[in-house]
Amino acid sequence: MIEIVRGEHDTGPPKHSEHLKDLKHDFLASIVVFLVAVPLSLGVAFAAGAPLLSGLISAVVGGLVASLFGGSPLQVSGPSAALTVVLADTIATHGWPVTCAITVAAGLLQIFFGLTRAARAALAVSPAIVHGLLAGIGVTLVLGQLHVVLGGSAQGSALANVLALPGQVAGHHDKAVLIGVVTLGVLLAWPRLPAAVRRVPAPLAAVALATGLSVVTGMTLARVDLPAGLPPLHIVPRLPDGGWGSFAVAAVTIALIAGLESLLSAVSVDKLRGGRRTDLDRELIGQGAANVAAGALGGFPVTGVIVRSMTNYEAGARTRASAVLHCGWILAACLLFTGVLRLIPLAALAALLVYVGTKLVNLNGLKEVRRHGDLPVYVVTLAGAVAVNLLTGVAAGVLFALALMLRRMIFSGIHVERDGERHRVVIEGALTFLSVPRLTRVLAEVPLHAEVTLELHVDFLDHAAFDCLRGWQQAHAGCVTVDEIGHPWFGRGRSGKPTVRRSVAARVVPRWLAPWSQWQAEHVVLPAQRTASSLLCRGASEFQRRTAPLLRDTWSGLAHGQQPHTLFITCGDARIVPNLITTSGPGDLFTVRNIGNLVPPAGGTDSSVGAAIEYAVGVLEVAEIVVCGHSGCGAMKALLGRAPAGLDQLGSWLRHGDATLRRRSREAPLLLGGERPAAEADQLALQNVVQQLETLRGYPVVAAALDRGALRLTGMYFDVGAAQVSLLDAAARGFVPAGALEH
């Protein structure tokens, strides 16, 4: 199934019905987020020692500005618990009016960071840290809100919540527990109800039912406490009379903390949205504008709040309209519906937060983190977020991830393999000065007079590691061969060249593509041993060690038969490697090679090529026959009268090229890439490909397959010097680059 998702920046206008459908989801989600945002905004302001009104100002003004100008469409902004400790100290030091000015300054700094594209650094945060952060927030929410569900109040820290939880459970707060259980029961059962019922979001239904039950039964419970109205604004920002240093430090601290939480929240929401990436610089600018507006009106600093954003997503929000609407509901509630909101039991909202918190502990994400070996980073981040605070958890996760990366660099893959009297020291990964102690220890285990191969699969080799290897190679009494796989770090260092790769253009051809004469030239081989036989044997050994394990499953599937898709007829020239120039592998090509890629006429005396054609088409039922010529072909030069003397068999074979010579004399020259080849032999090679295709049509088995539409004939030409494959194109009166025909 293919799913088409309309992005926020799609150029085509959505249909009117889609607008209405999105608005319906956003409308309902905004109410759910509003119900969560009101008590959280008041609670955060109270915890920091700020005026309670400041929390509502931030939720309305700051949330609205951030929603309109931010980059994350589903992010919901407002007062955040991550800033309570910093704000409490700032308020105690400077007072609330100066703190409002600090908030404005922090917002301006965030706008500056966004304009300078500093927000991209958030993308460097490991997914393990993001998942650990979400899990930490979820655990903290559950631990704190369970107390409210039980009729009590959350403690000041996660540890205090854990220690006080047994006492809360023993208290038997039956009414609060009943409301909490009802709320959780509705949330859990709602997805299993009929679709018509599920049109109402589960969080909204759960809170409404729990509130109705508490009102009908006349329960005495702690309920939402709101101001009677929105009083006149008297607080305005004020600059300090002195202490500008602490003022600047506070502004930078709030800007960094609020910015980091907002960006991490946006990244986390992106993961839930299928990886669609938010414009983080725009998000940071939007958050900065929100802080400027909130601070100017006497509000609490604003961040993108992960709890509200996740609640917004879980409630089914589609666009930023949900976050905008939730600001309007908060303002309307403060002005018009205070009495209704005061009926909502805190236990119902707490149960909703418990549910949201458990959803933040993503087990699938945890499995993915574990699969990639980053579980320790996840655990450290989670523990830091729960035990201390959100930013401590993130900082601990980042530091631990860096330490883990350093450890992986120190413990490069170094081991010794023994084959009889020979020893092979295999080194993998980045080999730096950090690995030298372990490298020295492993090399010391090799017997002094043993014949050794140093097999280097290294991503980087620094000066210290090079000196260690070079010194050991010179000091070792036995023969030492250095076998580098990939970039020649050691070889460059040994020749006095810089070992640092300065450009991505400094590429090395993988040895399974390069001729053995190139990659084996790097090894120390005695002159008496430099024979084709010994080199080919070393190549076979190389295949057995590296390539065979990778392709064993492929060859296992081919063990009982072949089903090639192409008969490939080409020259025996050593420069032509059919599988390489066609990017094919075992079982793909049924290959026939001879001098000049010639096809003798059907019914002639030479049956070798004919037999291969009949077998490929009649038995293997290939779908295509390719005739491939090439530049600088010796056979074409011989046809032009430059054949070596005294080679009777070669002369006899080249008589099959007489038809090509006749074609050359009567047909117009063929073009290669729009131009006529300068060399006469290359022009003849082009004509030869076309002629052999014509000869193929004379084979009965080929003609029958062509009539059935079961076979295709293709002409190919390989320019050796340019490494360019071209295909025959009748419309172009010649051969065109292979890529051109694909378009």
- Residue 233: pLDDT above 80? no
Distance CA 559, CA 553 (A): 10
Amino acid found at 44: V
**CATH number for the domain running over 411-508:** 3.30.750.24
Q: Is 566-742 a CATH 3.40.1050.10 domain? A: yes
Residues acting as catalytic residues: 571, 573, 575, 630, 633
Distances from the Cα of 535 to the Cα of 452, 484, 525, 549, angstroms: 18, 17, 10, 21
Tell me what the mean pLDDT of segment 383-391 comes to. Answer: 79
Is residue 140 exposed (0-12), middle (13-18) or buried (19+ Cβ within 10 Å)?
buried
Tell me what the mean pLDDT of segment 422-448 comes to. Answer: 88
Tell me what the mean pLDDT of segment 266-277 comes to. Answer: 75
pLDDT at residue 8, as a whole number: 42
pLDDT at residue 175, as a whole number: 81
Angle between helix 202-216 and 174-189 (nearest 10) = 150
- Residue 288: pLDDT above 90? yes
Q: By the 8 A CB rule, do 446 and 418 touch?
A: no
pLDDT band at 123 (very low <50, low <70, confident <90, very high): low
Lowest mean pLDDT, pick from 112-126, 487-501, 557-571, 637-651: 487-501
Tokens, residue 235: 């607080």
pLDDT at residue 43, as a whole number: 65
- The whole-chain average pLDDT of the chain stands at 82
Q: By the 8 A CB rule, do 499 and 461 touch?
A: yes
| Highest mean pLDDT out of 137-146, 243-252, 493-502 | 243-252
Secondary structure letter of residue 720 according to DSSP = T
Burial per residue of 339-366, b for 16 or more beta-carbon CB atoms within 10 angstroms, e otherwise: eebeebbbbbbbbbbbbbbebbbbeebb
Q: What is the pLDDT of residues 654-712, one digit of tens each?
A: 999 999 999 998 988 999 988 999 999 999 999 999 999 999 999 999 999 999 999 99
Q: By the 8 A CB rule, do 434 and 405 touch?
A: no
Burial per residue of 182-192, b for 16 or more beta-carbon CB atoms within 10 angstroms, e otherwise: bbbebbeebee
> 451-461 and 480-484 as β-strands: parallel, antiparallel, unpaired?
parallel
Tell me what the mean pLDDT of segment 428-435 comes to. Answer: 84
Tell me what the mean pLDDT of segment 96-102 comes to. Answer: 92
Those residues whose C-beta lies under 8 Å from the C-beta of residue 291, and which sit 6 or more positions away, are 62, 103, 104, 106, 107, 110, 254, 258, 301, 302
Of 589 and 740, the one with more pLDDT: 589
Q: Where are the domains of the chain?
A: 16-150+173-394, 411-508, 517-548, 566-742
Tell me what the mean pLDDT of segment 555-575 comes to. Answer: 92
- Residue 24: pLDDT above 90? no
pLDDT at residue 287, as a whole number: 94
pLDDT band at 517 (very low <50, low <70, confident <90, very high): low
Cα R_g (the chain), whole angstroms: 37
Distance CA 63, CA 70 (A): 10
pLDDT band at 2 (very low <50, low <70, confident <90, very high): very low
Q: By the 8 A CB rule, do 250 and 90 touch?
A: yes
Distance CA 64, CA 297 (A): 13
Distance CA 626, CA 642 (A): 27
Q: What three-state secondary structure class fits 439?
A: helix
Tell me what the mean pLDDT of segment 234-248 comes to. Answer: 81
| Highest mean pLDDT out of 262-266, 552-556, 630-634, 648-652 | 630-634
Q: By the 8 A CB rule, do 623 and 711 touch?
A: yes
pLDDT at residue 4, as a whole number: 34
Of 242 and 389, the one with more pLDDT: 242
Q: Smallest Cα–Cα separation from 395: which of 133, 714, 103?
A: 133
Of 531 and 65, the one with more pLDDT: 65
pLDDT band at 643 (very low <50, low <70, confident <90, very high): low
| pLDDT above 90 as % of the chain | 30
pLDDT at residue 690, as a whole number: 96
Distance CA 261, CA 136 (A): 13
Q: What is the pLDDT of residues 595-625, one digit of tens each?
A: 999 999 998 778 899 999 999 999 999 999 9
| Highest mean pLDDT out of 78-92, 489-503, 666-680 | 666-680
pLDDT at residue 167, as a whole number: 78
Query: Maximum Cα–Cα distance for the chain, whole Å?
Result: 116
Q: How far apart are the first and last CA of the chain?
A: 27
Distance CA 581, CA 737 (A): 13
pLDDT at residue 462, as a whole number: 86
Tell me what the mean pLDDT of segment 280-303 comes to. Answer: 92
